[in-house]
């Protein structure tokens, strides 16, 4: 991706009044966030790797697994299958895949950084998500 392409992405971000724009191609991942009027672009250190899902602890003691990028969230393992990665009540381990986010035909795994029980899945299979959207809430295992 060259500077002109990045400049077009920044222009798109402003014109569409987006808060975040995340784009990947074969060897580059560009993440652009708009905060107030300032715009920043940060390439991810490992080309082609998916941004890790961010984990936030909610006031209820639940840990939130959030989207690490803009795209479409999928909880089903296959388009033609009813089998899901996780369901409410499932026990998950740290590192388990809980779904994936597709952006521009690139599929990025969403993995858990916590072991525990799935309490809530906040988005449906095929829903559009933005960076930071809560995908799943997990009640962590007691140590």
Tens-of-pLDDT digits for all 143 residues of the chain? 666 777 787 777 777 777 777 776 666 777 777 655 434 444 443 333 344 444 455 447 889 999 989 999 999 888 778 889 999 999 999 999 999 999 888 888 999 989 999 999 999 999 999 988 999 999 998 76
Length of the chain: 143
Distance CA 80, CA 55 (A): 30
84 in Cβ contact with 75 (< 8 Å):
yes
141 in Cβ contact with 85 (< 8 Å):
no
SS3 content of the chain, % helix, strand, coil (to 5): 10, 45, 50
Full-model pTM: 0.59
Q: Which residue has the tokens 């895949």?
A: 97
- The answer to whether residues 58 and 112 belong to one domain is yes
Phi, psi of 132 (to 5 degrees): 95, -10
- The answer to whether residues 72 and 114 belong to one domain is yes
- Strand, helix or coil for residue 41: strand
Is 120 part of any domain? yes
- The answer to whether residues 131 and 80 belong to one domain is yes
pLDDT score for 142: 77
Please list, in sequence order, all residues whose beta carbon lies within 8 angstroms of the beta carbon of residue 45, skipping any fewer than 6 positions away.
Answer: none
- The answer to whether residues 98 and 119 belong to one domain is yes
- The answer to whether residues 62 and 11 belong to one domain is no
- The answer to whether residues 26 and 70 belong to one domain is no
- The answer to whether residues 34 and 72 belong to one domain is no
- The answer to whether residues 63 and 112 belong to one domain is yes
Residue 114's domain spans which residues? 54-140
- The answer to whether residues 7 and 36 belong to one domain is yes
Is 13 part of any domain? yes
- Strand, helix or coil for residue 40: strand
Q: How many domains does the chain have?
A: 2
Is 90 part of any domain? yes
- The answer to whether residues 74 and 125 belong to one domain is yes
Is 49 part of any domain? no
């Amino acid at each position: 991706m060259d500077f002109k392409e990045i400049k077009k992405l920044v222009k798109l971000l402003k014109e569409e009044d987006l808060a975040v724009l995340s784009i990947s191609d074969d060897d580059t991942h560009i993440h652009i966030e708009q905060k107030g009027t300032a715009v920043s672009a940060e390439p991810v250190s490992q080309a082609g790797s998916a941004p890790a899902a961010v984990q936030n602890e909610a006031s209820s003691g639940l840990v939130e697994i959030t989207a690490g990028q803009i795209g479409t969230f999928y909880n089903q393992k296959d388009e033609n299958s009813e089998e899901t990665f996780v369901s409410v009540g499932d026990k998950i381990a740290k590192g388990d895949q809980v779904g994936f986010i597709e952006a521009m035909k690139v599929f990025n795994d969403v993995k858990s950084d916590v072991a525990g029980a799935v309490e809530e899945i906040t988005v449906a299979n095929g829903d559009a998500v933005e960076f930071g959207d809560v995908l799943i809430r997990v009640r962590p295992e007691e140590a």
